[in-house]
C-alpha cells in the first residue's frame, strides 16, 4: 500500500535536488562582481525609499481566512462525491442542506463587503 | 524495496528529461506563436528554424551572475525557486499517459506513481506552489516583489477553491479518486456513439476548471502577479541567472501539468474514440493511446498560448470578483445540479 508512494517521494526529492543543483551550478559558472549599486533594491532606477516590509492591505488577509473556511468545506465534499452513488437520495439531501447553510454564510460575507476590491 | 527505489529513480530521470525538453519546446512554441500572431518572425537563427533558442537561453542564464540584493533574506531567497521547481516537477507523477502496456511479459501501468488518491495528491502539491511565489516576493525585500507575491498568493488560493469544486462534479460521475480509473470511466460510450468524456458529462465543470487552470498557472489573462506595466517583474523582480530561470521553468512545467490534468479529467486522457475496433495488437494500441494523449496535450497547450497572446489582462478587482462571485457559486451549483440529475437518471 505505502509502496505506491515511493515514486512520489523520489519525484519530490528529485525535484529538490534538481533545483539545488541548478542554483549551485549557477553560483559556480556565473561571475561574481558585486558592487553597492548592483546589490541595492531595484526601484526603477530611483533611490529606494524605506523598506518593503511595511503594512499591506488587510484584504489579502481576509481572502486567506475565507479560503481556509471554504477549503475545509471542499475537503468535506470529496469523500461524499466519491461515494455519491452508494449514498443515494439521503446523502444528496444531507449535502444539499450543508451547501445551503454554506451559501447563507457566503451571502453574509458578500453583503458585508468582504469580497469587494477597490 | 531496493528495486522499487531504483525503478522510481529511473522513471524520475526519464521523466525530468522529457519534461525539460517539452518545456523548452513550449517556450519555443510560445515565442513562435506569439510572433505569428503579432506578424513577426520570432526566434529563427539558432539551429533549424530557431529550435535551439530556448536551450541556448538556459545556457546563457547559467553563465549570468547570481545577484542577491543586500536587503534580501538570503536563505529564503535561495529556497523560493527551489520550492517552485520541485513542486512543478513532482505534480506530473500521478498522471496516466497511457493504458497498460506489456513489457517483458508483465503488464505495466503507464503512470509514474499509481496511488489511490491521485487527485488529492495533485491538489495538495499544486497548492504548495504558492509558497515559492510568496516567499520569493517577501524575501526580496522589494516593493514590487512583495506586491506581486501577495497578489499571486491571493489569486492562487481564490482559484484553488473553484478548481477543487469543479473536480467534485467529475468525482461524482466517476466515483473514484484514482486518475487511471477516471480515464477508464471515460472510455465507454453514451448512446453507443458519443465517447463518455467528462467534457460532455460535465461541461460547466470543464469550463470553470479551465479558467481556474489559467489562473493557477499565472497565465494571461490572469498574470496579475507579474503584470509588467505595474509591477516590473512581480515576485521575480530581484532574481537573476538560473534562479530566475527556475521560476521560468516552473511556470512552463506547471502549464504542461495543467494541460495534462485537463486532458486526463475532461478530455478522455489517452482514449482514442473507436480505436479499440481497429483490431490492432495490444502493444500497437498502447502506443497509439500514448500518442493520442500527447496530441491532446499539445492541442491544449497551443490553446493556452493562443489565449495568452490574444486576450488582454484583467484588472485585479475584476479577477477577484470572477473568482469569488462567479466561479465559486457556479461550481457549487454545478455540484448540486449534477447530484440531482444523477439521482433522476438512477
Q: Are B170 and B333 contacting, i.e. CB atoms less than 8 angstroms apart? A: no
Given an 8 Å threshold on Cβ–Cβ distance, is A25 in contact with B71?
no
In whole angstroms, what is the distance from residue B110 CA to residue B101 CA?
7
Q: Give tens-digit pLDDT for B204-254.
A: 899 999 988 888 887 777 776 666 666 777 788 888 888 888 888 888 888
Residue B69: the pLDDT is: 83
Express as a percent the part of chain B with pLDDT over 70: 95
3-state DSSP of chain A: CHHHHHHHHHHHHHHHHHHHHHHHHHHHHCCCCCCHHHHCCCCCCCCCCCCCCCCCCHHHHHHHHHHHHHHHHHHHHHHHHHCHHHHHHHHHHHHHHHHHHHHHHHHHHHHHCCCCCC
| C-alpha cell, A50 | 524605506
Residue B268: the pLDDT is: 82
- A38: pLDDT confidence band, cut at 50, 70 and 90? confident
From A4, A66, A89, residue closest to B114, measured CB to CB: A4
Q: B 126-185 residues with CB below 8 A of A?
A: 140-147, 150, 153-154, 157-158, 160-161, 164-165, 168-169, 171-172, 175-177
In whole angstroms, what is the distance from residue B22 CA to residue B6 CA?
24
Q: What is the mean pLDDT of residues B79-95?
A: 87
Residue B105: the pLDDT is: 63
CB-CB neighbours of B279 under 10 Å: 8
Residue B178: the pLDDT is: 85
Which residue segment(s) compose the domain that B34 sits in?
2-345
Residue B151: the pLDDT is: 84
Residue B18: the pLDDT is: 84
Residue A86 lies in a domain: yes
Residue A74: the pLDDT is: 84
How distant is the Cα of B132 from the closest Cα of chain A, in angstroms? 12
Given an 8 Å threshold on Cβ–Cβ distance, is A52 in contact with B113?
no
User: Best residue in A5, A25, A52 to probe B by mutation, most B CBs within 10 Å?
Assistant: A52
Residue A118 lies in a domain: no
How distant is the Cα of B230 from the closest Cα of chain A, in angstroms? 11
Q: Give tens-digit pLDDT for B232-245.
A: 777 888 888 888 88
- A27: pLDDT confidence band, cut at 50, 70 and 90? confident
Residue B226: the pLDDT is: 66
**ipTM metric:** 0.85
Which residue segment(s) compose the domain that A88 sits in?
2-112
How distant is the Cα of B113 from the closest Cα of chain A, in angstroms? 5
Instruction: List, in sequence order, every residue forming a beta bridge with B106; answer none if it has no partner.
Output: B103
- Which residues in chain B are closer than 8 Å to A92, comparing Cβ atoms? 339-340, 343
Number of domains in chain B: 1
Q: Give tens-digit pLDDT for B276-304.
A: 777 777 788 888 888 888 899 889 988 98
Number of domains in chain A: 1
More confident residue, A108 or B67: A108
Residue B229: the pLDDT is: 65
Residue the block writes with cell 496579475: B224
3-state DSSP of chain B: CHHHHHHHHHHHHHHHHHHHHHHHHHHHHHHHHHHHHCCCCCCCCCCHHHCCHHHHHHHHHHCCCCCCCCCCCHHHHHHHHHHHHHHHHHHHHHCCCCCEEEECCEEEECCCCCCCCHHHHHHHHHHHHHHHHHHHHHHCCCHHHHHHHHHHHHHHHHHHHHHHHHHHHHHHHHCCCCHHHHHHHCCCEECCCEECCHHHHCHHHHHHHHHHHHHHCCCCCCCCCCCHHHHCCHHHCCCCHHHHHHHHHHHHHHHHHHHHHHHHHHCCCCCCCCHHHCCCCHHHHHHHHHHHHHHHHHHHHHHHHHHHHHCCCCCHHHHHHHHHHHHHHHHHHHHHHHHHHHHHHC
Mean pLDDT of the residues in chain B = 83
Closest CA to B226 of B237, B215, B241, B212: B237
Mean pLDDT of the residues in chain A = 84
Given an 8 Å threshold on Cβ–Cβ distance, is B81 in contact with A99?
no
What is the domain-level CATH number for residue A91?
A: 1.20.58
User: Best residue in B117, B127, B343, B344 to probe A by mutation, most A CBs within 10 Å?
Assistant: B343
In whole angstroms, what is the distance from residue B29 CA to residue B236 CA?
23
Given an 8 Å threshold on Cβ–Cβ distance, is B316 in contact with A117?
yes
- A1: pLDDT confidence band, cut at 50, 70 and 90? low
Q: Give tens-digit pLDDT for A62-73.
A: 888 888 888 888
Report chain A's terminal Cα–Cα distance, integer Å: 50
Amino acid at each position: 500500500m505505502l509502496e505506491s508512494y515511493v515514486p512520489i517521494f523520489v519525484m519530490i526529492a528529485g525535484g529538490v535536488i534538481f533545483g539545488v543543483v541548478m542554483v549551485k551550478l549557477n553560483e559556480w559558472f556565473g561571475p561574481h562582481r558585486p558592487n553597492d549599486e548592483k546589490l541595492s533594491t531595484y526601484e526603477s532606477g530611483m533611490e529606494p525609499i524605506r523598506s518593503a516590509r511595511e503594512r499591506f492591505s488587510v484584504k489579502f488577509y481576509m481572502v486567506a481566512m475565507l479560503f481556509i473556511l471554504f477549503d475545509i468545506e471542499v475537503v468535506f465534499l470529496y469523500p461524499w462525491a466519491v461515494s455519491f452513488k452508494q449514498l443515494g437520495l439521503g446523502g444528496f439531501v444531507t449535502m444539499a442542506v450543508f451547501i445551503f447553510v454554506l451559501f447563507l454564510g457566503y451571502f453574509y460575507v458578500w453583503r458585508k463587503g468582504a469580497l469587494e476590491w477597490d | 524495496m531496493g528495486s522499487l527505489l531504483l525503478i522510481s529513480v529511473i522513471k524520475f530521470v526519464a521523466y525530468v528529461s522529457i519534461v525539460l525538453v517539452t518545456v523548452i519546446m513550449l517556450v519555443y512554441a510560445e515565442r513562435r506563436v506569439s510572433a505569428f500572431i503579432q506578424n513577426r518572425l520570432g526566434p529563427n537563427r539558432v539551429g533549424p528554424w530557431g529550435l535551439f533558442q530556448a536551450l541556448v537561453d538556459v545556457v546563457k542564464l547559467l553563465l549570468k551572475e547570481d545577484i542577491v540584493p543586500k536587503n534580501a533574506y538570503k536563505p529564503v531567497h535561495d529556497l523560493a525557486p527551489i520550492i517552485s521547481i520541485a513542486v512543478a516537477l513532482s505534480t506530473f507523477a500521478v498522471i496516466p499517459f497511457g493504458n497498460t502496456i506489456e513489457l517483458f511479459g508483465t503488464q505495466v501501468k503507464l503512470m509514474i506513481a499509481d496511488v489511490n488518491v491521485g487527485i488529492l495528491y495533485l491538489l495538495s502539491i499544486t497548492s504548495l506552489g504558492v509558497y515559492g511565489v510568496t516567499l520569493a516576493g517577501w524575501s526580496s525585500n522589494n516593493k514590487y516583489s512583495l506586491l506581486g507575491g501577495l497578489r499571486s498568493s491571493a489569486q492562487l488560493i481564490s482559484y484553488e477553491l473553484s478548481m477543487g469544486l469543479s473536480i467534485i462534479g467529475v468525482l461524482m460521475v466517476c466515483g473514484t479518486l484514482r486518475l487511471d480509473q477516471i480515464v477508464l470511466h471515460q472510455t465507454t460510450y453514451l448512446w453507443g456513439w458519443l465517447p463518455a468524456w467528462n467534457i460532455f458529462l460535465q461541461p460547466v465543470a470543464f469550463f470553470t476548471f479551465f479558467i481556474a487552470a489559467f489562473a493557477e498557472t499565472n497565465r494571461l489573462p490572469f498574470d496579475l502577479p507579474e503584470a509588467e506595466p505595474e509591477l516590473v517583474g512581480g515576485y521575480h523582480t530581484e532574481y537573476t541567472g538560473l534562479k530566475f530561470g527556475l521560476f521560468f521553468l516552473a511556470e512552463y512545467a506547471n502549464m504542461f501539468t495543467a494541460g495534462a490534468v485537463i486532458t486526463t479529467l475532461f478530455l478522455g486522457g489517452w482514449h482514442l474514440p473507436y480505436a479499440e475496433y481497429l483490431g490492432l495488437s495490444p502493444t500497437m494500441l498502447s502506443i497509439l493511446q500514448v500518442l493520442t494523449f500527447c496530441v491532446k496535450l499539445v492541442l491544449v497547450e497551443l490553446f493556452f498560448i493562443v489565449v495568452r497572446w490574444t486576450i488582454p489582462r484583467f484588472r485585479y478587482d475584476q479577477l477577484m470578483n470572477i473568482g469569488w462571485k462567479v466561479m465559486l457559486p457556479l461550481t457549487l451549483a454545478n455540484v448540486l445540479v449534477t447530484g440531482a440529475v444523477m439521482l433522476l437518471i438512477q
